[in-house]
Amino acid sequence: MAREYRTAELADAAGIPQRTLRFYRERKLLPPPRREGRIAWYEDHHLARLRTIAALLERGHTLGGIAELIAAFENGRDVGQLGELLGMGWSEETPVRLTPEALADHFEGEVTPENLAASLDLGYLAVDGEAIVHVSRRLLDVSSALVREGVPLAAVLETGRRVREHADAMAALFTELISTHLSEESLPRLRPLAKSVVEAELTMAMDRLTASNQDPSA
């Protein structure tokens, strides 16, 4: 059963003063609570939103910028479940709003109906009115760079799908490790450790592969 919080309880769980919570409400950074008489009841998704706001502030986003990001996803929440980026979870990725023309400029000649369908299926893209929202600035930059180097976008998307399968498995391993020996509440704080492990292992794996390809006896 989903937990509900009074104003003071939610502020305490999020580690912020009650006046800050009220300020976020006034700025429409939080969805309205359920009202029962004069009592406001909040739920876990409100707590997740507050934690996400805190994470974005730590990364240098302004409250105005965060409000714009939230507004962008409120309209497209049902497409690819991208609304979870700012309403739920702890994503560190920055979404990017693009016109269709700007998207075509990133992937000149590669924005075909098939590639668009694949991107929507992966959740990389969502539609917000006449604009297109890409889930991650980093993924957008990397994929467009690969296409500029001559890699077909269809191949990039297929590789992204396969990488996600492995990434999901690695995330599950780390989550199980922390949940077993510490607590799920430790996950946000320890995420940088998981990223360091993945980056180090990937670097060493690529080094081994390069060495193997260069060894004539291999």
- pLDDT, one tens digit per residue, over 114-134 is 888 888 778 788 766 567 888
Asked whether the predicted pLDDT for residue 42 surpasses 90, the reply is yes
pLDDT at 72: 57
Its pTM stands at 0.56
Q: Strands across the sheet with 125-128, in order?
A: 96-98, 131-134, 125-128
pLDDT at 86: 39
Query: Which 3 state secondary structure label does DSSP give 31?
Result: coil
Give the end-to-end CA distance of the chain in Å, rounded to a whole number. Answer: 57
- pLDDT, one tens digit per residue, over 137-191 is 899 999 999 999 999 999 999 999 999 889 889 989 988 998 899 887 888 788 8
